[in-house]
Structure 1
Amino acid sequence: MKNEIYGHFHPDERPFVDKAWEWVENAAVYHELKRTEFLDPRQAFIVESLANRNPDVALRLDGGYPDAERRRALIGPDYRDLDSEEMELRVLEAVPVDPGGLDHGDYMGALLGLGVKRGTIGDIHVLEDRCHAVVTREMADFLSIHLTGVGRSAATTSVLPIGMLRQAQARMETFEISVASLRLDGIASDVCRVSRSKILAPIKAGRVRVNWKAEENPAALLKAGDTVSVQGFGRFRVLEVGDLTKKGRYRVGIGKFV
C-alpha cells in the first residue's frame, strides 16, 4: 500500500506523506484525534487524498475563513463530529507605530525571526495600519509577548478571537506576455525577467513550485489557473491563455502577487 501511495507524489514529499499516513492510520485504528499545524495547499491536498482512501476517517480543514490558503487539518475517526471541535485558531494583531511601506514579507520575517516554525502561522493579512495574522492558539501568547517590532518600526500586539479576523484582498499586478509556448521555463523567465538559461537552475534544483508542488521539468506546460512560485522571485498566477496569434505565439495573462 505504501509503495502504491508513493507513486502519486514527488520523492521530496515522502517524509510528509509518511507523517500524514500515520495520522490517518492512527485515526482509523486507534481512534486518535490529530490537529495539525498550518498546511500549505499542497500538504492539505496530500492529507485529503490519504484520508479519502480510508472510509473510517473524517477530515476537516480550516484556516479561519473560507478562502484561507494555509489551513490546519483535524483528522479523526469517522464517528467524531469534527465540525464541533475547536480548531484552536487565534488572530495576532500587530500595530506598527509607522506602518508605511511594510508588506507581507516584513511581517512574515518579523514573526519567523522569533524562532517559530512556519507551521504555527497561517495566512497573513496586511491592512492599511496593521496586520492580522492567523496563528495557532498554542503560540499566540508567545508571539504577542515577543513581537515588539516589524521592519524598523516598533509595534504593539494583541491576541484576538478568530471571529475578529479582518481579511485583506490579495494585491496582484496584472500584465500580458507573448510566448512561443506554454512551457514553465519560458513563462517563468518572462515573468521573473531573467534569461531562460538562468531560470533553469531554480527549476532543476526543486525551487520552483506549480500549484505548491515542486516541478523540476522545465518543459512542463502551464494552463490558466496555475499558481507558480519561484524562490527568490515571488509568486504569480496564469490568469488566462489566449489563442495563437498570426505569428504562432500565445498571449498569456499574468497576475503577479505584490
Structure 2
Amino acid sequence: MSDIYQHFRKDEEPFIDQALEWKRIVAEQYRLKLTDFLDPREQVILTSVIGQSDEVKLDFFGGVPEAERKRAVLYPEYAEPSAEDYQLQAYEVLYPEKFASIEHRKLLGSLMGIGLKRQKFGDLIFAGGTWQFICSEEVADFVFSQLTHIGRVKVSLEKIPLLKLKVPEQDVEIRDDTVSSLRLDTICSAVSRQSRQKAHVLVKNGLVKVNWKVIEDPSYSLAEGDMLSVRGFGRFKLKNIDGKTKKGKWRLSFEKQK
C-alpha cells in the first residue's frame, strides 16, 4: 500500500494517511465513515486510495449534483448510504438586497470569521440574486446563531431543504492544450495565455492559488483535479491529464469558469 505515495505530492501525504485510516476503520468496524467537505483534488486522492476495493465503497455528495465541494461517505459493501447520511444543512442568506450587496469572498470571510474551518462548509451559491450555502449539520446551529453580519451588511439565515438550493447555470469553457511540463508557472502560462516569464512573476508575487492555497513556488507540480486561481485571469480546473504527445508534451484539458 505504501506504493500509493509515489503517485502524489509530498504535501498530500498527510491526507493520504487520513484516507487510509478511514478505509481501515470501515473495513475493520463495518460502519459508515463520513468526512468533512473535500475539495476536488482531495476527492481524486480519496478515490485513488479506495480504488477498486471490495471491502470499502465510496460516494460523494455536496447538496446538489453539480457541487464542487463534497462530503464523502465510506461504507461496507453491503450498505447503501442515503442523502441523510451526508448530514448537510443548507441556508439562505437574508439581507436588504436593494440597499446592499454581498460578494463571495466576503461571505466566505465572514464564515471563517466565526471560528470554523473551511472543511465544514460546502459550496457558496449565488443564483437568481440570492446567496445560499451548505454546511455540516453538526455546526449548523452554531452558524445560525453566529453569522449576523457579512462585512458591514446585517444578515439573518433561513434554513432551507436541499431541494430548494438554486443551482447556478454552469458557464464553463473547456480548453485542450499541450504543455512542456506540469510546473505551476508553465500551466499558468497556458491558462492565462501569456509568457512563462510573466506567469512566473505572478506565482512569485503570491497571485496564484492551487486548491485555495497561495503557492509561490513556480516549480510546484500540478495534478489532475487541481483547482487553479490566477488573479486577474479567473479560475481553472485541471480536468484531465491525457498522457504525452510523441514530442513529449503533456496533453491537458481544463475548465475555465466564466
1:102 aligns with 2:105: no
- AA aligned opposite 1:187: A
CA 1:228 to 1:164, structure 2 compared with 1: closer, same or farther past 3 Å?
closer
Q: Residue type of the partner of 1:209? A: V
Structure 1: runs of 5 or more not aligned: 240-252
Say whether the 8 Å CA contact 2:39–2:211 is kept in structure 1.
Answer: no
Aligned to 2:141: 141
Contact 1:96 1:150 (8 Å CA) reproduced? no
Contact persistence 2:32–2:75 (CA under 8 A)? yes
Tell me if structure 2 keeps the 8 A contact 1:184–1:218.
no
- C-alpha offsets along residues 130-150 of structure 1, whole Å, 9 cap, x if unaligned? 311011111111111111111
Between stretches 225-234 and 161-170, larger displacement belongs to: 225-234
Structure 1 CA distance for aligned equivalents of residues 85 and 12 of structure 2: 28
Q: Which amino acid aligns with 2:137?
A: R
Shift of 1:52: 2.0
- Provide the secondary structure at the position in 1 that maps to 2:44: helix
Of 189, 195, 198, which residue of structure 2 is paired with 1:195? 198
Query: TM-score normalized by structure 1?
Result: 0.74
Q: Secondary structure at the match of 1:195?
A: helix
Question: Unpaired runs of 5+ in structure 2?
Answer: 240-252
Tell me the SS of whatever aligns to 2:31.
Answer: coil
- Matched position secondary structure for 2:7: coil
> Aligned-pair RMSD on alpha carbons?
4.0
Q: Which moved more, 1:14-23 or 1:160-169?
A: 160-169
Q: Which residue of 2 aligns with 1:249?
A: none
Q: Structure 2: which amino acid aligns with 1:18?
A: D
How do 1:124-135 residues align onto structure 2 when only pairs under 5 Å count?
124-135=124-135
Deviations 1:71-100 (A, max 9, x none): 100111111122475211111111122474
For residues 37-89 of structure 1, what are the alpha-carbon distances to aligned partners after superposition, in whole Å with 9 as ceiling and x for unaligned? 11001111111112224210111110111111111001111111224752111
C-alpha change, 1:71 and 1:6, in structure 2 (3 Å) is: same
Cα distance in 1 for residues equivalent to 2:191 and 2:153: 34
Percent identity of paired positions between Structure 1 and Structure 2? 29
Deviation at 1:192, TM superposition (A): 11
Partner of 1:209: 210
Match of 2:121 in 1: 121
Change (3 A) 1:134 1:7: same
- With 64-73 and 102-111 compared, the bigger mean Cα shift is at 102-111
* Structure 1 residues 145-169: Cα deviation after superposition (integer angstroms, max 9, x where no partner): 1111112211111222212211223
Amino acid aligned to 2:67: A
Deviations 1:3-39 (A, max 9, x none): 2011111110000000011101111122132111110
Residues in 1 aligned to 2:46 and 2:225: alpha-carbon distance in whole angstroms: 21
Native 8 Å contact 1:55 1:78 kept in 2: yes
Paired residues of 2:44 and 2:225 also in contact (CA < 8 A): no
- 1:141-220, aligned counterparts within 5 Å? 141-169=141-169, 183-187=186-190, 190=193, 195-201=198-204, 208-209=209-210, 218=219
Letter in 1 for 2:132: H
What is the 5 A alignment of 1:47-58? 47-58=46-57
Equivalenced residue count is 237
Cα distance 1:107–1:191, how it changes in 2: closer, same or farther (>3 A)? farther
